[in-house]
Amino acid sequence: MIGAGPSHYRLRVWRDGVELVRRIYRLSNRLPSEEKFGLISQMQRSAVSIPSNIAEGAGRGGEREMIRFLKIARGSLMELDTQLVICSELGLLDDDQLPQTLLRQLYGQLNRLITFRETQTMD
């Protein structure tokens, strides 16, 4: 780790994204091994992409770049949500196992942060 200095460490949305990764890795370990190169891989990549893109946007330094990477993170969140719905529909996971509260929380945080930063770039 680079240390306590990087700006993304202070973002709640980034910390919650890292928590989501932890939960998704635990949850995906419950899936059948034949899904290793299918849903498991896709879910893990989508989850990791969320905090990674937030960090990359923060590291780029520009407001427009940050907004762009926040939107990419939001897209990865929607991708992960879809993969979890598929797991539920296929009977691979029960609805009560899904981190729906954290998904909704992250979605709201990303939307608010995008909106806030977009209004700041208009001024």
pLDDT digits over 25-42, tens only?
Answer: 999 999 999 988 899 999
pLDDT digits over 101-111, tens only?
Answer: 999 999 999 99
Q: What pLDDT band is residue 122 in, cutting at 50, 70 and 90?
A: confident
- Do the beta carbons of residue 46 and residue 83 sit within 8 Å? yes
Q: Under CATH, which architecture does the 9-122 domain have?
A: Up-down Bundle (1.20)
Q: What is the pTM of this model?
A: 0.91
